[in-house]
Amino acid sequence: MTFKTLIASSATAIAMATAAFAMNPTVGGAPMLEEKNIIENAVNSPIHTTLVAAVQAADLVETLQGEGPFTVFAPVNDAFAALPAGTVDTLLKPENKAMLQKVLTAHVVAGDWSAQDIINAARSSRDGFYHFNAVSGDALSAKVVGSNVYIFDESGNAAKVTTADVNQSNGVIHVVNSVLVPK
């Protein structure tokens, strides 16, 4: 083996090792571990306590711990706080469980969609939007604006993806800054 070949193969090995050990993004300063599922990671995120409480109230914990894969657009606490006063409290009441399930499943898509997958789909569409359906059956659309990805609900409200590609054992989470509201 020549010195040049040795250097080239060493550089390749280092690059491969670095890629293999690349870390998932943290969320709210909390580590998100790829070997954990969506719920196991979400409960560790200090900026998703409202979402976790809502998932528990809606009896969706077991579903989101399932095999998947799922793509979840996960609104932060501030997104829930920005809803009209009393909305979250009303949704969390047991008698509104079906409505809460609909709102939450409007943030979940079947499959493991990376940000790059969403970007490619939006850029290859005729209108610049990738149109798809949430698990709830509600229509969602994705659009790339500059270097940002936005997810639109049926009413045209946009949620900006603030942290993309938080990989999970059963899918991927994209943190968003707004709640997607189904019709």
* Alpha carbons 158 and 136: distance in angstroms, whole number: 18
Q: Is residue 4 part of a domain?
A: no
Q: Is residue 160 part of a domain?
A: yes
Q: How far is residue 121 from each of residues 1, 40, 118, 180, measured CA to CA in Å?
A: 45, 29, 5, 20
Mean pLDDT of the chain: 89
Tokens linked to 37: 């599922």
Helix 49-57 to helix 97-105 angle (10° resolution) is 130
- Range(s) of the domain holding residue 119: 26-176
pLDDT of residue 129: 95
Helix (H) or strand (E) holding 109: strand 108-110
pLDDT of residue 183: 84
Percent of the chain with pLDDT over 90: 84
pLDDT of residue 21: 47
Coil/strand/helix, residue 170:
coil
Q: Is residue 62 part of a domain?
A: yes
The stretch 165-182 carries a mean pLDDT of 96
The stretch 144-168 carries a mean pLDDT of 95
Q: Is residue 103 part of a domain?
A: yes
Q: What is the pLDDT of residues 73-116, one digit of tens each?
A: 999 999 999 999 999 999 999 999 999 999 999 999 999 999 99
Q: What is the pLDDT of residues 28-49, one digit of tens each?
A: 989 999 999 999 999 999 999 9
CATH number at residue 69: 2.30.180.10
pLDDT band at 22 (very low <50, low <70, confident <90, very high): low
Coil/strand/helix, residue 100:
helix
Q: Is residue 53 part of a domain?
A: yes
**140: left (phi > 0), else alpha (psi -120 to 50), else beta?**
beta
Domain count, the chain: 1
pLDDT over 90 (residue 23): no
Q: Is residue 35 part of a domain?
A: yes
Q: What is the pLDDT of residues 45-66, one digit of tens each?
A: 999 999 999 999 999 999 999 9
